[in-house]
């Protein structure tokens, strides 16, 4: 899954692809490098950022999605949103999947909206909102509590009628450096949920802070964790650098 950020303040590539021409070029590059999904986000989830209104999100997103669908009709586009109005508008245009960082907690109508259109739904674990999440990193047992969250939310989504659910542990969202690695080291336990596992560690602080570098220097660390994630059950890698991630997948598959 290649990342297409339309935000201006992403920790790694903010502002690089928020013009139509640049978004089209970057999408074409990721597809050529082997991306199966393109995940488009127009709402910032950077720690401390405020929630975006559906109207502002659609203003940033819909014109780009329309152009992408026209240029790449065979591609699969995932929409990174927590607003059901945005999800509905994008699905009706032709989006293939919804990727919700809140797992349905920020919009009570999200589950029923996704269920109505019968498309896959990625639910991520996050406490609070991007603005407050780093103040909510107190866990007695992070693995047990994240598993409990998914058990509850997958049940709610299934009860709403969603048939295809994927889970994302939410690395970096309301979690300390140590908690991120505890969670990563226990990824195999998520198999008990019976849902495909999506992993997003690309160039995140859990890599560059541990290695004392920067997001720009975190590709090697990202590749290392992507390979380990595949061995721990990951079925989708959400990445900025598609070529390197695709090579990880191809090499891992060759060993199976």
Active site residues: 204, 238
Give the other-Cβ count within 10 Å of 145's Cβ.
12
Q: Answer for the pair 182, 136: CB distance below 8 angstroms, yes or no.
A: no
Q: Answer for the pair 198, 3: CB distance below 8 angstroms, yes or no.
A: no
CA-nearest of 120, 86, 228, 102 to 173 is 102
Residue 77's DSSP bridge partners are 38
Tell me if residue 204 falls in helix, strand or coil: coil
Q: Is the dihedral of CA 76, 99, 157, 237 positive or negative?
A: positive
203-215 in b/e form (b: 16+ CB < 10 A) is: bbbbbbeeeeeeb
Distance between CA atoms of 75 and 30, rounded to whole angstroms?
11
Q: Answer for the pair 46, 74: CB distance below 8 angstroms, yes or no.
A: no
């Amino acid at each position: 899954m290649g990342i297409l950020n339309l935000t201006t303040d992403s920790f790694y590539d903010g502002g690089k692809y928020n013009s139509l021409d640049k978004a089209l070029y970057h999408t074409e590059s990721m597809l050529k490098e082997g991306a199966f999904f393109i995940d488009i986000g127009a709402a910032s989830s950077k720690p401390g950022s405020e929630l975006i209104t559906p109207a502002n999100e659609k203003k940033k997103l819909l014109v780009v999605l329309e152009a992408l669908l026209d240029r790449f009709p065979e591609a699969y586009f995932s929409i990174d949103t927590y607003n059901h109005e945005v999800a509905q508008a994008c699905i009706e245009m032709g989006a293939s999947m919804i990727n919700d960082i809140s797992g349905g907690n920020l919009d009570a109508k999200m589950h029923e909206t996704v269920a109505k259109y019968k498309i896959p739904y990625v639910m991520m674990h996050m406490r609070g909102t991007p603005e407050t999440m780093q103040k909510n990193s107190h866990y007695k047992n992070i693995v047990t509590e994240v598993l409990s969250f998914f058990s509850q939310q997958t049940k709610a989504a299934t009860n709403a009628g969603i048939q295809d659910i994927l889970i994302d542990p939410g690395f970096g969202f309301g979690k300390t450096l140590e908690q991120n690695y505890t969670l990563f080291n226990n990824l195999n336990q998520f198999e008990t949920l019976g849902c495909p596992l999506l992993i997003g560690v690309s160039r995140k602080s859990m890599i560059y802070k541990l290695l004392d570098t920067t997001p720009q220097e975190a590709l090697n660390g990202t590749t290392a964790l992507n390979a380990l994630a595949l061995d721990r059950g990951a079925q989708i890698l959400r990445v900025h650098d598609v070529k390197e991630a695709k090579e990880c997948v191809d090499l891992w598959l060759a060993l199976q």
